[in-house]
Amino acid sequence: MPEWKMPERKMPEWKMPERKMQERRFRLLVFDWDGTVVDSTAPIVGAVQAAYRDLGLTPPEENAVRYIIGLKLDTAFFHLSPELPEENVAALLERYRYHYMQSDAAIPLFKGISALLEKLDQEDYFLAVATGKSRMGLDRMLRQKGLMRRFHATRCADESFSKPHPEMLLYLMDRLGVTPEQTLMIGDTTHDIQMAKNARACALAVSYGAHDRDHLHKSQPLAIVDSVAALDSWLAAHG
């Protein structure tokens, strides 16, 4: 009898299903905190000026304080008053923290930012924070705002070099396995934009925080948006 063989069947070629994420330009969205997620510019300015008055020092102008928002605190005070001795800077830090904590719990999220973060999370972006706040300060606010589990990774000033050094972004990209080309830094200061450039990542500026549009424009981000709604629209079109 002729030898029997299993009939050959041509199996359909199997491919990994394509995820929508592969069509996007960015995989990782890194948010600054103060002035980008929370409306904290005025409380920070007020706390810095009050700290100077407590020590009998002339408080810096509002615009000068707005410029240093986002920097590590000791670096910020050095920029404001490079002539001050180290013990005065330590005293300023202590008084700043005292005054800032008086309003900390009342600092609001920008309108619409919580819903936007939820939407981006559901769309499978990696979400992260890179901030000039301390670890203790950021974790406290994340708990207060109910956002502790919204971000896949966070990095704070007391764990890294101060912005605009790229270390925060380099850490976050390495932690989440994302390349600079796939990373977008979203922030309200030129420090955020320059940090992104130093990390070879992209940057998007928001003009509703500490730094004004003119200064942000000079730092050459991909774009500048004027509200959380505009940020949502930009990410939907270009993210």
Please identify which residue in the block is written with the tokens 């600079």.
Answer: 180
Alpha-carbon span 41 to 207, nearest angstrom: 12
Residues of 25-45 as b/e, b for ≥16 C-beta within 10 angstroms?
A: ebbbbbbbbbbbbbbbbebbb
The answer for residues whose C-beta is within 8 angstroms of residue 103's C-beta and 6 or more apart is 43, 46, 47
Helices 167-176/190-198 angle, 10° precision: 60
Considering 32, 188, 192, 232, which one is annotated as catalytic?
A: 32
The answer for residues whose C-beta is within 8 angstroms of residue 12's C-beta and 6 or more apart is none
Q: Among this protein's residues, is 34 annotated catalytic?
A: yes
Q: Among this protein's residues, is 32 annotated catalytic?
A: yes
Residues annotated as catalytic are 32, 34
